Structure 1
Amino acid sequence: MNKKDDRCSMERGKFIKILAAAAVSKTALLAAAGFETKAQTKPDKLIHRNEQPTMTYRKLGRTNFMSSRLVFGCGGSLLSSKNVRLLDRTLEAGINHYDVGAEIAYKGSERRLAPFLKAHRGKIWVASKARLSVRVKPEDSITLEKARTAAKNWTKQINSSLINLQAEYIDAYYLMDVSNPTFIRSEEIYKAFLDAKAAGKVGHFGLSAHTNTQKVLEAAIETGWYDLAMER
């Protein structure tokens, strides 16, 4: 194993430890943040959609949605219009969770998902995501001006996503590919989410992280603002 492999293994180990820490502190964290934990969630509050006997389901993050174990990634899959036909097959298989991305990252994918979403709105959960489009390195300090710009960019992207999806509401919207933990802690960005939620545009706030994952997740845990996290 070379040095690069060693570093990857160490990073993976650190990431697993972070997840373990998050699990241990989950009840206290969610209670402090004003969210219900699994133990506090009554069965009749869980959200069930398109559940089939051939698929297994589990509660998704800090939402009450029972997500299929398999999630259909629409971003890359729907870059080609030919793959739209796969959507009906996934529904038949019991998949109820569809993950897509903003136009700037996955050109045409949201628009190709739109007819399927319209036809099956009550059966599926849809999440999309967008980059903040502010150039920073993982350890850079973020000025208030940059945070405000990032928040405006995110708001613009969620509005564009809703237009592309031909929808007034999306179940979850993520900060996409965030590597700088200061953005995760940004009150300006969080306020952008709260404003969108108050306007009835989105239900849950999430993030995806592909680099500097440990520090990004630590920041997310500290804030208590995020219902969902995605790591590649």
Structure 2
Amino acid sequence: MRGNDKQERRAFVRKVVTGAVGVSLAPQILKGADAPRVGAASRAKPLAAEWRNRKAGMAYRMFGNTGMMVSEIVFGSSSWDDEDKYFDVLDLGLEKGINYIDVAPQYQRGQSERVVGRYLKERKVRDQFFVSSKISFYDEFMTELAEEILSGLPGEKRTEIEKRAAALIEERGVTKPGYHFQYFKAQDKKFLLAYIRHLVIQDYGRLKSWKPRIKKRMREIAEDSLSAMGLDYYDVLHCPHGVAMPEMLDDENIREFFEEFKAEGKMRFSAVSAHNDVAGILDRAIELGHYDGAMLAYNIGNHASLERSIQKAKAIGMGIVAMKVARVLTVDWAPKWLTSKLNTTISEDVSLHAKTYLWALQNPDISCCVSEMMTREMVADNSSIVGRKVELKKV
């Protein structure tokens, strides 16, 4: 099926994929009964393979049951702010057989979307790439709604909710070293905001006036991004973007919006992205059953808590994009033992970045690794390890 055939695409995106209940490996995840549960059923069979920009020398894997044959290394774009600079990088990626680009309206205040959109238009290569984006500001909008309730509470009640949120974070152990890794400085703030929001909804319920406002805001964000890129559909759309608590996936508006947007032919597949409490988030996505994929922080540091959940996700037809594969080793505060562990596990004589991707791609349940490639040299380096199988030594 070709992505530019609108009738076929709309039939394609209406296929509903549901999943089986998973068992969480996250630390002390609570079985909250306050949120509605979606019944799980057998997923649809894999769709026929769909190839884009297929080139010799690149290795490809199917993204869950979607049929999309994605390159093992794909483009991230969170730092892309210069059209002229990154066109050259994208050109080499196209030459190498890379066929998936991930963007988000939050990246560079929307500039990364404009870079990608202009490139696809000027090079006339929309049909050579799968394009993934995110409803980036969903979380922020939900926090604003919760604040409408919080702002009307006495100061002591607000303080009590904040203390309960902090205690719940501690009880669940989601910030424990080894399970949780920090990839950017503002990352941990999402925990407290999400847990406060959860307790506000748990204590006071959702206001009826919220539903149309949430749907409207989600649509505005998603359609504005399509317009910014000059596209008429996404291959993959994530919501939430960078979710920090499993219960945040229970918002019925997410599922309903995905169904509506798919029916309109504006998106093909749904996904969620997470840096925090990654195993807990993935297990909840599996249980809900309406997600086609997930973009997850997965690396030499946190993989032990994720392996079984990723295996279950693959078994029910979810595609998995591994992110923060290299970043866990390259941030200024990275523990030195991580690099030592990687070098002991894989003795191949390749660059540190390439080695992290080589390590991650030994997991057959991973669909691809997203990489923030800023130069042609980085594209060449990361592409050099695709399709390789190596022995992973025990540590």
Q: Output the TM-score relative to the length of structure 2.
A: 0.47
Higher relative contact order (CA 8 A, sep 6+): 2
- For 2:279 and 2:195, the matched residues in 1 are separated by 11
The question of 1:183 aligning with 2:248 is answered yes
Does structure 2 retain, via aligned residues, the 8 Å contact 1:79–1:106? no
Q: 1:56: Cα distance to partner?
A: 0.1
Q: Quick one: which of 102, 127, 133 aligns to 1:122?
A: 127
1:111 counterpart = 2:114: yes
Alpha-carbon offset, residue 220 of structure 1: 0.4
| Alpha-carbon distance between aligned partners in 2 of 1:178 and 1:151, rounded to the nearest angstrom | 18
Match of 1:137 in 2: 194
Q: Structure 1 pair 179/151, CA: closer, same or farther in 2 (3 Å)?
A: farther
The runs of 4+ residues in structure 1 deviating greater than 6 Å are none
SS in structure 2 at match of 1:107:
helix
Deviations 1:40-70 (A, max 9, x none): x5xxx11001111110000012311000000
1:173 to 2:237 alignment: yes
Kept in 2: contact 1:105–1:130 (CA 8 A)? no
User: Using the alignment, how far apart are the partners of 1:95 and 1:149 within structure 2?
Assistant: 38
**How far has the Cα of 1:154 moved from its partner?**
2.2
Q: Does 2:110 align with 1:53? A: no
Q: Does the aligned pair in 2 maintain the 1:138–1:181 contact within 8 Å?
A: no
Cα shift at 1:137: 1.8
Cα displacement string for residues 174-200 of structure 1 (whole angstroms, at most 9, x for unaligned residues):
011011322312222110111111111
Q: Which runs of 5+ in 2 are unaligned?
A: 1-24, 27-39, 144-192, 298-395
C-alpha distance in structure 2 between counterparts of 1:151 and 1:177, whole Å: 19
> Which residue among 25, 37, 41 is the counterpart of 1:32?
41
CA shift at 1:79, angstroms? 2.0
Q: Does structure 1 retain, via aligned residues, the 8 Å contact 2:61–2:72?
A: yes
How do 1:71-90 residues align onto structure 2 when only pairs under 5 Å count? 71-76=74-79, 78-81=80-83, 82-90=85-93
Q: Which amino acid aligns with 1:117?
A: L
Q: In 1, are the aligned partners of 2:249 and 2:284 still within 8 Å (CA)?
A: yes
Identity %: 30
Distance 1:104 1:69 in 2: 23
CA contact (8 A) 2:77 2:107 kept: no
1:226 correspondence with 2:291: yes
The alignment yields a C-alpha RMSD, in angstroms, of 2.3
- Name the CA shift for 1:147/1:219 in 2 (closer, same or farther; >3 Å): farther
* CA shift for structure 1 position 153: 2.6
Residues 62 and 228 in structure 1, CA contact (< 8 A), matched pair in contact too: no
TM-score of the superposed pair, with normalisation by structure 1: 0.77
Matched residue, 1:19: none
CA contact (8 A) 2:58 2:98 kept: yes
Measured in 1, the distance between the counterparts of 2:82 and 2:119 equals 15
The Cα shift of 1:147 comes to: 6.2
Structure 2 partner of 1:164: 228
Quote the residue 2:269 is aligned against: 204
One-letter amino acid of the counterpart of residue 222, structure 2:
I
Q: Distance in 2 between matches of 1:66 and 1:87?
A: 19
Q: From the superposition, tell whether residues 185 and 35 of structure 1 become closer, same or farther in structure 2 (CA, over 3 Å).
A: farther
Q: Judging changes above 3 Å, is the alpha-carbon distance between structure 1 residues 148 and 210 closer, same or farther for their aligned structure 2 residues?
A: farther
The alpha carbon displacement at 1:106 in A equals: 4.4
Structure 1 residues not aligned, in runs of 5+: 1-13, 16-30
Matched letter for residue 129 of structure 1: K
